[in-house]
């Protein structure tokens, strides 16, 4: 019977744990999409918008094709059928990925409207606004770049304000709010959440909610502790 030393046992156990962790990270987690639901009370919301469902997708990182995670996200959208979908930046990694983005975004649309914003990766890839607008428009998606879009749902209007990426872009809230009226039910979307801390608390009109991405759920997550988040994540 072979004799196993404590050192060999520890090394073998460490190898098994590492293999299990890698298997989980690369085989299981990429397609394990968690859907979190949040009820957002909005004072003065038109009755027709009660129960409106908005799906937020961010940091898809299409890169040379559609990843298993991106495929899984489409399956969730097809099952959930949200009224409005917002694609909040870092949807693709390179300008060469724009045809893939168009094809993927065509299947990522909400039943009423779909909007997109820039993240830092689109800027780093050198994708300009007009090029991105054309790519998204081919998929039936409106790119918001310091601008607002309006979705009509059951005869009522939801305003979506899209702000350019704060990390490497040029966010301009004033331009984004230029056409927003007091009393509008408005949702703000911006890629990096740290920008929100810079917005004056008395800015008007106030948003019903602000949706962001960028953090990848913590980037590196350990129980009760997140040791790293990318620049622009904020608190």
Query: 175-190: b or e for each residue (b if 16 or more CB lie within 10 Å)?
Result: bbbeebeeebbbbbbb
pLDDT in tens, 22-45: 444 444 455 567 788 888 888 778
Q: What is the pTM of this model?
A: 0.83
For residue 11, the model assigns a pLDDT of 54
Using alpha carbons, list the distances in angstroms from residue 140 to 11, 103, 151, 167, 198: 54, 10, 13, 27, 32
Cβ atoms of residues 35 and 76 within 8 Å: yes
Confidence tier at 4 by pLDDT (50, 70, 90): low
Q: Where are the chain's structural domains?
A: 7-228
What is the architecture, at CATH level 2, of domain 7-228?
Answer: 4-Layer Sandwich (3.60)
User: Which strand (E) or helix (H) includes residue 124?
Assistant: helix 120-124
pLDDT in tens, 119-172: 999 999 999 999 999 999 999 999 999 999 999 999 999 999 999 999 999 999
For residue 31, the model assigns a pLDDT of 59
């Amino acid at each position: 019977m072979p004799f196993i030393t404590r050192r060999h046992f520890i090394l073998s156990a460490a190898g098994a744990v590492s293999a299990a962790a890698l298997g989980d990270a690369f085989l299981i987690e990429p397609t394990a999409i968690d859907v979190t639901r949040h009820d957002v009370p909005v004072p003065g919301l038109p009755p027709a918008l009660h129960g409106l469902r908005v799906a937020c997708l961010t940091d898809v990182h299409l890169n040379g094709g559609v990843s298993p995670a991106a495929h899984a996200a489409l399956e969730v959208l097809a099952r959930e059928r949200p009224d409005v979908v917002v694609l909040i930046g870092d949807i693709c990694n390179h300008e060469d990925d724009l045809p893939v983005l168009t094809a993927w975004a065509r299947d990522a649309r909400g039943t009423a409207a779909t909007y997109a914003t820039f993240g830092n990766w689109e800027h780093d890839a050198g994708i300009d606004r007009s090029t991105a607008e054309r790519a998204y428009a081919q998929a039936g998606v409106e790119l918001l770049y310091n601008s607002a879009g309006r979705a009509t749902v059951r005869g009522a209007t939801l305003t979506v304000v899209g702000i350019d990426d704060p990390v490497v872009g040029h966010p301009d809230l004033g331009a984004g709010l230029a056409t927003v009226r007091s009393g509008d039910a408005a949702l703000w979307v911006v890629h990096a959440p740290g920008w929100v801390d810079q917005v004056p608390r008395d800015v008007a009109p106030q948003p019903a909610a602000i949706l962001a991405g960028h953090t990848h759920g913590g980037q590196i997550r350990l129980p009760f502790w997140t040791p790293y988040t990318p620049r622009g994540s904020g608190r």
